[in-house]
Amino acid sequence: MSDPIFERIAIIGAGLIGSSIARAATAYGAAGSVSLYDASDDVRARAAGLDIGEVAGTLADAVKDADCVILCVPVGALAPVAQAAVPHMKEGAILSDVGSVKKQAAEALASADDGRVFIIPGHPVAGTEQSGPEAGFPTLFRNAWYILTPQSGKGEAYDAAADRLKAFWVVLGSKVETMDPARHDRVLAITSHLPHLIAFNIVSTAFDMETVEEGEVVKFSAGGFRDFTRIAASDPVMWRDVFLNNKEAVLECLGRFSEDLAALQRAIRWGDGDFLMHEFSRARTIRKAVIDAGQDSGAVNFGRNQNGAKPDA
């Protein structure tokens, strides 16, 4: 293990992402020590029992000695938490976040800027549908993208701080890319936000039909529907905040999606098999490209056995 990138980091919000960063930073030697804080007494008590860092009793205690403070709270909570944290941070420390939306996150962090700390937002494109400190694991970020959205023209010291943050995520195993926040939000709207919205919607439609079909939707839920239920089990607070804070890009994607869905609907109605073949074949090529890019496993049915369990579960 090489020298730690940061002597001490502070994680605010000890849920899935926060506790995974804490675990990974220790496991891979990216930080000399880790302090954690969560607004919830219950989460703090549970995190303290997991041995993933020093759990502080107050936000101020958690951040006061940290070289880098990473806010791992829902996007809607970023501004008040950043404003409460910054006055207690060391001069020259980094304030970052992991919010899934970057334009609003950047504004939220900037609202706390007092000129003494470096504000560098970021987003690890990795996660699961689980929440809470027990759900985290150290390998979550390995081979996953981490998108850094630094401000430009802030000077050499700022750029050096951004390089340090980048180096931290590289030690955690991530592939780092730098992006403009608005571009990040447009890309993630189609690759992550819209798929989640579709999953929430299909599961809720099926739930309504369930009362009509007397339990058969759940009983016969094979691959397709089952995969949607996994995505739709994601944290409701996190996703409420994603949609409230990436409204423009999501509505733009949703407009395009609705038009394409209407075209498929028309093809089914008029028996246009050629159109359906064309669209489905194109989609299959994209799946192959995702696997070739190492973004998913090419194993049949994601490597599940016939009962739906992962072989290593």
| Chain contacts with ligand NAP (rule: CB under 6 A) | 12-18, 38-40, 43, 72-75, 77, 81, 98-100, 123-124, 127, 131-132, 235, 238
Please state the closest distance from residue 271 (CB atom) to ligand NAP, in A: 41
Q: From CA 213, how far away is CA 110, in angstroms rounded?
A: 51
Choose between 81 and 203: whose C-beta lies nearer to ligand NAP.
81
Please state the closest distance from residue 123 (CB atom) to ligand NAP, in A: 6
Choose between 166 and 193: whose C-beta lies nearer to ligand NAP.
193
Amino acid identity at 248: E
Residue 151 DSSP one-character state: P
Q: How many residues are present in the chain?
A: 313
Choose between 13 and 181: whose C-beta lies nearer to ligand NAP.
13
**Considering only CA atoms, which of 65, 53, 55, 154 is closest in space to residue 113?**
154
Please state the closest distance from residue 197 (CB atom) to ligand NAP, in A: 15
Choose between 10 and 81: whose C-beta lies nearer to ligand NAP.
81
Q: What are 187's two structure tokens?
A: 């890309």
Q: Where are the alpha helices (DSSP H) in the chain?
A: 16-27, 41-48, 59-63, 78-85, 103-110, 156-171, 181-188, 194-213, 216-219, 223-232, 236-245, 247-269, 273-292
Please state the closest distance from residue 128 (CB atom) to ligand NAP, in A: 6
**Burial label, 250 (beta-carbon count in 10 A; 0-12, 13-18, 19+):** buried
Please state the closest distance from residue 139 (CB atom) to ligand NAP, in A: 14
Choose between 19 and 26: whose C-beta lies nearer to ligand NAP.
19
| Helical (H) or strand (E) element with 125 | strand 122-125
